[in-house]
Amino acid sequence: MKSQFNQLSENLLNSLHQGEHLKIGVSGESSQFIRFSQSKVRQSGLVEDAAINITLIKDDQTCSGSFTLTGDIANDESLAVSELNRLREEVDTLPKDPFIVLPENSGSSNETHEGVLLPAEKAVESLCPAMDGVDLAGIWASGRIYAGNANSAGQKHWFETDTFSLDYSLITSDEKMVKGTYAGSHWNQSDYEKNMAKSIAKLRMMEKSAKKIEPGKYRTYIAPAGVADIVGMFSWGGVSEASIQQGDSALCKMRENDMKLSDCFSLKEDFGSGLVPRFNCNGELAPQQLDLILNGSLKNTLVSSRSAKEYGVTSNFAGEDEGLRAPVLNPGELDEDAVVSKLGTGLYLSNLHYLNWSDRPGGRITGMTRYACFWVENGEVIAPIDNMRFDDSIYSFFGDNLEGVTNKAHLMPSVETYDGRELGGISCPGILLKSFELTL
């Protein structure tokens, strides 16, 4: 695909008229998908898919279009030229953009991250035995994902990586669930089987009668999957410079009032994992690492070149939405294997769901406990709890009430497939809280 993209982009760039600027992006995959229900294979197939996005800029006016590649280079070149001509007709009708970001050439890049994936023909026989005897529903996705970028300033980027994920739910006879994900780039059969065995052990606990929890504040452990859900909220009105400038970010208090989170809390962008490209849709390369919140203090925000022009600040080449692309929450010193005994009496929350800001300026997040969430007494898991709603502030549970962070970080991969398999994920540990507020 790389050679086809290079040929297609060169053809487009060579056809530009005077005064025109062009940005070209490609994304695609070569994947195997298997759908499981009741631990049986219900659907299986191989997918080859790729799409091109073209952005035309002329006289500070801009418009974009995209189309799916057919794999026939002559046909795709014809489609690309037709799309470019359509954009030429449209761009003259649009208003000027005062914060337009023109293509630049700050250097090219080429990254290929080869993994060790299950051969497609061995996937079923490798996956199924470990789920025998339980009701599992889930999706297996495995293969190569790639992305590329080229522009009229002469810059080119290419990125491809091998990844796999089994995103699944285990279901009891009365429809309680345990959520799990096993993912990576190097398949390990033993690790997979251990992962599934741990989930099945939680499922057996879910078969017990649920304990009713009253609204209130509880000592709480939130496992990495739940922490990842909360950290993901920082992409929506959190670490964005534009959101802070517009006064609707949950971190405004950190910028304006010098408020801090716990010294245990450090969040950064780190592209070293090779799971996601450093270049954005403009072809700009983000720093390899960027501290956002360090030991509880706000050090940097994510700043796109557009926001840099609009607000007179310096860009660090974030994506246009200024969301997290390679987030890492630093691990701490709490022994992950001892969290239940360290918790003592309180809540063990494996997963959270339906998260939203209930008071964004106040940093308050609301959501639901879900899947394998348990009541713990005297360091022993007693029973699952009924689903509860929580509503609490990051300045509380990531602040004074953050007692400890576990010593192991886990990758919670992006498993969405709406427009193709997503790249990246969130790397984070679990957290132990002195207090966490359940509201109903």
Please write the tens of the pLDDT for every residue from 38-72: 999 999 999 999 999 999 999 999 999 999 999 99
Query: In what helix (H) or strand (E) does residue 218 lie, and over which residues does it extend?
Result: strand 216-222
- Please, are residues 94 and 61 in contact by the beta-carbon 8 Å criterion? yes
Nearest to 93 by CA among 59, 142, 127: 59
CA distances from 55 to 1, 16, 64, 344 (A): 20, 12, 4, 56
Average confidence (pLDDT) over 234-247? 97
Dist CA 207 CA 217 (whole Å): 26
Work out the angle at residue 157's Cα, subtended by the Cα atoms of residues 152 and 158, and round it to the nearest 5 degrees: 140
Average confidence (pLDDT) over 279-286? 94
Tokens of 13: 């760039």
Average confidence (pLDDT) over 163-189? 95
The span from the first CA to the last CA of the chain, in angstroms, equals 52
Tell me the pLDDT band of 416, cut-offs 50, 70 and 90: confident
Burial 93-118, CB ≥16 within 10 A → b, else e:
eeeeeeeebebeeeeeeebeeebebb
Cβ-Cβ contacts under 8 Å for 163 (sequence gap 6 or more): 115, 142, 143, 145, 183, 184, 185, 275, 413, 421
Nearest to 26 by CA among 273, 283, 274: 283
Paired residues of 357 in beta bridges: 365
> Is pLDDT of 419 > 90?
no
> Is pLDDT of 417 > 90?
no
Give me the pLDDT at residue 384, please: 96
Give me the pLDDT at residue 212, please: 92
The pLDDT > 90 percentage for the chain reads: 96
Domains and CATH numbers, the chain: 2-206 (3.30.2290.10), 216-438 (no CATH)
Give me the pLDDT at residue 273, please: 85
Average confidence (pLDDT) over 370-382? 95
Cβ-Cβ contacts under 8 Å for 362 (sequence gap 6 or more): 250, 393, 395
Give me the pLDDT at residue 101, please: 95
- Please, are residues 309 and 336 in contact by the beta-carbon 8 Å criterion? no
**pLDDT digits over 329-369, tens only?**
999 999 999 999 999 999 999 999 999 999 999 999 999 99
Give me the pLDDT at residue 32, please: 98
- Please, are residues 428 and 227 in contact by the beta-carbon 8 Å criterion? yes
